């Protein structure tokens, strides 16, 4: 029997990988105490205020020591369009992270809603 996933959930082999959320929900997530916000886009093209880590999507596994030891910590990830963050979400799932929120549409969607980026790393 297959378990239904919430709308916006990205799955791999039937397991949840991340929750795709709009900019308003992402803003709420990153404002939540304990959430670790990660910019996974390369090259650097700006970051959302409050970003805790900048780790290229291709380097997530190699830089796992920078990630929270508690694999249930909420991780909020984003890139420019959503493509790199989708790859990062799968990598995070393979590392055992179970609570990943992904900005649907990336920084473009963030900017389209009138929000801003910080242009220095």
How does pLDDT run across 38-96, given as a tens digit for each residue? 999 999 999 999 999 999 999 999 999 999 999 999 999 999 999 999 999 999 999 99
Contacts of residue 105, Cβ cutoff 8 Å, sequence gap at least 6: 22, 23, 81, 82, 112
Which CATH number fits the domain that encloses residue 40? 3.40.250.10
- pLDDT of 3 > 50? The answer is no
- pLDDT for 9 equals 54
The predicted model scores a pTM of 0.87
- pLDDT for 83 equals 96
Domain that holds residue 71: 33-112
Establish if 78 belongs to a structural domain. yes
Establish if 70 belongs to a structural domain. yes
Establish if 84 belongs to a structural domain. yes
Helices and strands in the chain: count of H runs, count of E runs: 3, 6
pLDDT tens track for 6-49 = 455 555 555 667 899 999 999 999 999 999 999 999 999 999 99
- pLDDT for 18 equals 87
- pLDDT for 12 equals 52
CA separation, residue 62 to residues 88, 104, 115 (Å) = 12, 25, 31
- pLDDT for 111 equals 98
Establish if 57 belongs to a structural domain. yes
Establish if 7 belongs to a structural domain. no
Total domains, the chain:
1
Establish if 59 belongs to a structural domain. yes
Establish if 56 belongs to a structural domain. yes
- pLDDT for 86 equals 95
- pLDDT for 13 equals 55
Establish if 1 belongs to a structural domain. no
């Amino acid at each position: 029997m297959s378990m239904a996933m919430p709308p916006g959930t990205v799955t791999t082999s039937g397991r949840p990988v991340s929750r795709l959320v709009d900019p308003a929900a992402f803003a709420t997530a990153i404002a939540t105490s304990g959430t670790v916000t990660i910019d996974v886009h390369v090259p650097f093209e700006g970051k959302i205020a409050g970003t805790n880590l900048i780790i290229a999507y291709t380097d997530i596994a190699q830089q796992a020591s920078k990630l929270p030891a508690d694999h249930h910590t909420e991780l909020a990830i984003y890139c420019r369009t959503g493509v790199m963050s989708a790859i990062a979400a799968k990598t995070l799932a393979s590392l055992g992270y179970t609570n990943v929120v992904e900005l649907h549409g990336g920084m473009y969607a963030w900017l389209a809603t009138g929000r801003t980026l910080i242009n220095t790393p």
